């Protein structure tokens, strides 16, 4: 027809409004995450290392005084050794339901001398607890491996039945390129940098900080589950984070 210019665009059909709205939201979400610098898979990659001593930890001794069949679970990698850059790292455990109130933490040197020991009060509910080695405690030496024990005190007279778990921690130093990456990273990126480098204590600590800072962040929750699954701890990934614990006494040198 004269006077009518042909359209430059051909629209074969029109989407219902609710579908168009959903598609727009999906595209916006994809664009949002594509621009995020923290789009990562939180799989922990343990470093290649030699074998630990035959007494390497992670096992549980004694459980008769705990409620039900659940045990204490140390949050450590499969090889039972957690690397750290920190002089005073943070340790994590899952504590099952229990009426017991006191836990003891012991840190030994490679030659089995006491490096640090303390006790702290357990929370009233089960969940994942943490204990940061106090700044007043001796600093971990670079290149040294320490053997730690956590014991739940059931019987103060006979410790043979007290539930105990153990593991190892070693302080190391980052290379220059890793130090530069960490210095530039924000809270969202830190977990992945540490996880890729095999630095267990800081990887888990930064993930916990992110979960506490943004408890409703769906991406953070997914990364949390993936991290736990990668080290065989998926059974406790849904357990709550509990505010705990602080040393009852001054550190012993």
Of 143, 89, 92, 78, the C-alpha closest to 116 is: 89
* Mean pLDDT within 62-84: 83
Statement: residue 41 has pLDDT above 50: yes
Region of poorest pLDDT, from 157-171, 191-205, 238-252 = 238-252
Statement: residue 154 has pLDDT above 80: yes
What is the model's pLDDT at position 199? 96
- The overall average pLDDT reported for the chain is 80
Q: How confident is the model at residue 62 (pLDDT cuts 50, 70, 90)?
A: low
pLDDT digits (tens, 9 = 90+) for 192-227: 999 999 999 999 999 999 999 998 999 889 999 999
Statement: residue 23 has pLDDT above 70: no
* Mean pLDDT within 87-93: 98
Would you state the structure tokens that stand for residue 160, as one six-digit string?
A: 């043979």
Region of poorest pLDDT, from 50-54, 161-165, 219-223, 243-247 = 50-54
Q: Kindly report the three-state secondary structure assignment for every residue of the chain.
A: CCCCCCCCCCCCCCCCHHHHHHHHHHHHHHHHHHCCCCCCCCCCCCCCCCCCCCCCCCCEECCCCCCCCCCCEECCCCCCEEEECCCCCEEEEEECCCCCCEEEEEEECCCCCEEEEEEEECCCCCEEEEEECCCCCCCCCECCEEEEEEEECCCCCCHHHCCEEEEEEEECCCCHHHHHHHHHCCCCCHHHHHHHHCCHHHHHHHHHHHHHHCCCCHHHHHHHHHHHHHCCCHHHCCCCECCCCCCCCCCCC
């Amino acid at each position: 027809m004269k006077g009518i210019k042909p359209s430059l665009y051909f629209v074969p059909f029109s989407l219902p409004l609710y579908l168009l709205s959903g598609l727009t939201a999906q595209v916006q979400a994809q664009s949002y995450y594509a621009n995020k610098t923290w789009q990562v898979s939180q799989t922990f990659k343990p470093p290649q290392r030699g074998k630990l001593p035959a007494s390497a930890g992670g096992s549980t001794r004694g459980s008769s005084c705990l409620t039900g069949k659940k045990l204490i679970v140390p949050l450590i990698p499969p090889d039972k050794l957690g690397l750290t850059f920190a002089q005073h790292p943070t340790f994590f455990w899952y504590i099952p339901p229990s009426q017991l109130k006191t836990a003891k933490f012991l840190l030994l040197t490679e030659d089995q001398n006491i490096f640090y020991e303390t006790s702290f009060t357990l929370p009233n509910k089960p969940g994942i607890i943490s204990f940061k080695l106090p700044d007043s405690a001796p600093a971990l030496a670079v290149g040294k491996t320490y053997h730690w024990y956590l014991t739940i005190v059931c019987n103060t007279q006979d410790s043979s039945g007290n539930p105990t778990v153990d593991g190892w921690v070693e302080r190391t130093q980052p290379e220059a390129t890793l130090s530069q990456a960490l210095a530039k990273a924000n809270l969202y990126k830190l977990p992945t940098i540490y996880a890729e480098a095999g630095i267990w204590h800081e990887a888990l600590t930064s993930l916990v900080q992110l979960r506490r800072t943004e408890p409703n962040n769906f991406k953070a929750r997914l990364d949390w589950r993936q991290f736990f699954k990668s080290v065989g701890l998926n059974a406790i990934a849904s357990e709550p984070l509990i505010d705990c614990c602080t040393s009852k006494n001054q550190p012993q040198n």
